[in-house]
Chain A
Amino acid sequence: MQQVNRIEVESLVKRYGDLLAVDGVSFVAEPGAIFGLLGPNGAGKSTTIGCISGLVEPSSGAVRVLGHDVRSAPRLAREKLGIVPQELAIYEDLSAAENLEYWGAAWGLSGAPLRARTGEVLAAIGLGDRAKEPTKRFSGGMKRRLNFGCGIVHRPKVLLLDEPTVGVDPQSRVKLLDLVRAEAAAGTCVLYTTHYMEEAESLCSRLAILDHGKILAAGTLDELRASLGERDLVDFLGRFDVERARGALAGLTGVELVAASEAELALACAEGTKRLPQLLAALNGAGDVREVKLRRPSLESLFIKLTGKELRE
């Protein structure tokens, strides 16, 4: 059987006493892409990741990694699994290189390939010049980058990332996000949890919005927006005859003129990109268009609609 770098989660439930930390979660994360789990603190993101990695015993449901059930065939499921836990998981008394060597060796690398790979990862996470220092001297961002490195040193085909950028400096964050993209580009199936909207928007090709252990919505960014009837905002800058513009746009279905002045027309409509030529044509006789701005509705507003609350406190 051809192994596919995929995570399949089916009707996953995790109960802590009366609390349903994960409540019937299902999704499939595909190879070469970043699947996002977006949700506020306590939504059940880490618990879901834990059920995949083996840290948490699910109450019911099934999880398959690379086609292998994590409970009946844990060894095969974990062979190519990389994990970057939300809390740091590094040895403070060892150096960065020694940490990478340990986790690499624990997943089967040895000898020259291990040393080569360690050097490669050190360079990638930007710790090449600090490789020999005990990691307890590292800054938070450096530790986070090393934590990430320890999860990918054995070249996993399925990578679990649990809020890897929480509490890091902006430079480390940019670096980390680039590293995550590089992993997906190399064919790895990446599961990425976060409570940062912008991260989910800029990283993930597909995502699921999670709250109180339930998936509220899932799909590509476009699908999510469409499913919620969210419309794009299209801004036209230039010089307009407001009355004529109003008349020209009135004939188009699903287009609403939100704001109008001589210098700017703001329209709301679904699938703004696709309808742009039509809009431009309609405005042809109503003035000069010098600039067009298309803004997609943010996940933030989506999230507020779904849950009735802000994502960040």
Chain B
Amino acid sequence: MNRLFVATLVKDVRERLRDPAALGLWLGIPLVIGVLMSLGMGGSSGPKPKSPLYVVDHDESPPSQFVANAFGFGPFGEFFEVSSPTEAEARAKLADDEGSALIVIPEGFGAALWRDEPTELQLVTNPAQRILPGIVEETLEIVPDLVFYAHRLVGEELRERFESFDEREPTDADYVAIGLEIGHDVERFQKFLLPPVLKLASAEAQPSSSKRSVSFGGAFFPSLLFMSLIFMASGCAEELWKEKRQGTLRRLVANPCGLAGFLGGKLVGALAVATGVGTLGLLLGWAAFDLEPTRLPLALVWAVGGAGLFWCLFALVQVLSTSERAANVIGNMILFPLLMLGGTFFPFDVMPGWMQAIGRFTPNGWLVLRFRELVDGPASTGAVLGAFALLLVLLAAAFALALQRFSARFVRS
């Protein structure tokens, strides 16, 4: 076996283990987001009486529908019976101790969100209840965060577009057009370079097993796992510019084994770390969400392969970039929109239809959806084989491309 390959693999894994903070971050960010997303979803899955939750949507835009739908989904669906009476009816019912809470979405809510203008959701809770209204409240508190991220990503573009809507309200078609534009122009993502999402990690929230939730968590779990793996892949690929900065590539080119062994060693090193992260993630998932154990090994292979694909993509970004800074900027510009669109920051199920339609065609969207089938969906042998074959082909193609650029230009420039 290529000795440079083995040496590099061992060295890279060693370096990774030397940096437990990064490892912790990769696992921690998704965990914190997961915990935030499923806050307040407690208890076992026994049948419970559902409590009415009233949503009055004066706006009826896609963003307002997103908020309204979120409460009908997953575990919320177990607690709440969402209905849309008139505001007066709803207030009257709450006053009669009937129902948990009333969410009032004001007119112009969606447009204000898109424009990054202040807007407010009104929450009226039933004073006689404590826990259920609390769940609604905490969940709603996440919305501003998501909106904040969205604005750091695409805010300027949206504001520009909305200037053109001065005379009229945006239609659904406008929202679709905006969605399609996301990902075309990359410069506006610069502001996201110090993503506030990273700050969450310092919150050091401990995942607590009492916070387990079956369906919501179960559905969101694949997204979180891939978030971890993609962060990890990105972090590992960033080693390429670090190697260049440290000058080690200058000695490396004189190695008789060739550069394929080196880059292959780095890829497999990343796969090894992914196997560790993935195993840990799947064990957590298995403990928290009752995943079917017999399905996990294949799911792990898929997840690790997916991490490998992302490593190759980020490696390609690294070797195509002319400076370390540019490499990391461009990497993030690609990473965060992909996570947003591809059902990784929040599950597909709560995304509006147009976003789901785009997200399915992102690499992470594809990986997550297939992963969900592998874990608890119907998956025919043919479909599984096909998916693995496609993954392998993509992986090989991305690696070959990265290797070509790496040896032809990157090591020598």
Residues of A within 8 A of B (CB): 53-57, 74-79, 81, 83, 85, 87-94, 98, 102-103, 105-108, 110, 134, 150-151, 160
Contacts and interface: CB of A to CB of B under 8 A. Distances in A.
Nearest to A83: B254
B255 A78 contact: yes
B247 A106 contact: no
A87 B250 CA distance: 9
A20 to B, nearest CB: 19
Interface string B255-269: 111100000000000
A79 B6 CA distance: 17
Interface string B202-228: 000000000000000000000000000
Contacts of A106: 3-4, 7-8, 252, 255, 257
A151 B247 CA distance: 13
Contacts of B252: 106
A93 B4 CA distance: 19
A56 B411 CA distance: 10
Given A83-B251, A87-B247, A89-B251, A105 B6 contact: yes
A91 B412 contact: no
Contacts of A134: 18
A53 B246 contact: no
B163 interface: no
Given A102-B7, A105-B3, A105-B6, A55 B253 contact: yes
B250 A108 contact: no
B233 to A, nearest CB: 19
16 contacts: A74-B256, A75-B256, A75-B258, A77-B256, A78-B256, A81-B256, A87-B247, A88-B246, A88-B247, A90-B247, A93-B19, A98-B11, A102-B8, A105-B7, A106-B252, A106-B257
A89 B247 contact: yes
A160 B254 CA distance: 11
A306 to B, nearest CB: 30
B11 A94 contact: yes
A161 to B, nearest CB: 12
A107 B247 CA distance: 18
Interface string B124-154: 0000000000000000000000000000000
B251 A79 contact: no
Nearest to A80: B256
B44 interface: no
A247 B116 CA distance: 102
B364 to A, nearest CB: 29
Contacts of A107: 3, 255-256
Contacts of A92: 246
Contact of B246 (A77, A81, A89): A89
A76 B255 CA distance: 10
A105 B8 CA distance: 9
B387 to A, nearest CB: 36
A113 to B, nearest CB: 13
A79 B255 CA distance: 7
Interface residues of B, number: 26
Given A91-B11, A98-B11, A110-B3, 9 more contacts: A55-B253, A55-B411, A75-B258, A76-B256, A81-B254, A89-B251, A90-B247, A93-B15, A107-B256
A145 to B, nearest CB: 15
A93 B19 CA distance: 9
Given A105-B3, A106-B255, A85 B11 contact: no
Contacts of B3: 105-108, 110
A110 B4 CA distance: 11
A142 to B, nearest CB: 15
B16 to A, nearest CB: 10
B150 to A, nearest CB: 36
B251 A103 contact: yes
Interface in B6-40: 6-8, 10-11, 14-15, 18-19
B52 to A, nearest CB: 57
Contacts of B323: none
B248 interface: yes
Contacts of A54: 253-254
Nearest to A110: B3
A94 B14 contact: yes
A108 B18 CA distance: 24
Contacts of B412: 55-57
A151 B248 CA distance: 11
A110 B1 CA distance: 13
A91 B248 contact: yes
Q: Which 6 A-B pairs have the closest CB atoms?
A: A105-B7, A78-B256, A53-B254, A89-B247, A89-B251, A85-B250
Contacts of B253: 53-55
Nearest to B248: A89
Contact of B250 (A55, A74, A78, A81): A55
Contacts of A90: 246-248
Nearest to B18: A93
Contacts of A150: 251
A122 B250 CA distance: 22
A89 B19 CA distance: 20
Given A102-B11, A106-B8, A110-B3, A94 B18 contact: yes
B133 to A, nearest CB: 50
B386 to A, nearest CB: 39
A92 B246 CA distance: 8
A188 to B, nearest CB: 15
B14 A98 contact: yes
Contacts of B7: 102, 105-106
A50 to B, nearest CB: 8
Nearest to B411: A55
B115 to A, nearest CB: 45
A15 to B, nearest CB: 15
Nearest to B258: A75
Given A93-B19, A94-B11, A78 B254 contact: yes
A231 to B, nearest CB: 43
Nearest to A84: B251
A75 B4 CA distance: 13
Contacts of B4: 106
A92 B245 CA distance: 11
A155 to B, nearest CB: 14
Contacts of B19: 93
Indicate the member of B10, B18, B248 with the most A CB atoms within 10 Å.
Answer: B248
Interface in B86-121: none
Highest count of chain A CB atoms <10 Å: which of B4, B19, B246, B257: B246
Contact of B251 (A94, A98, A105, A151): A151
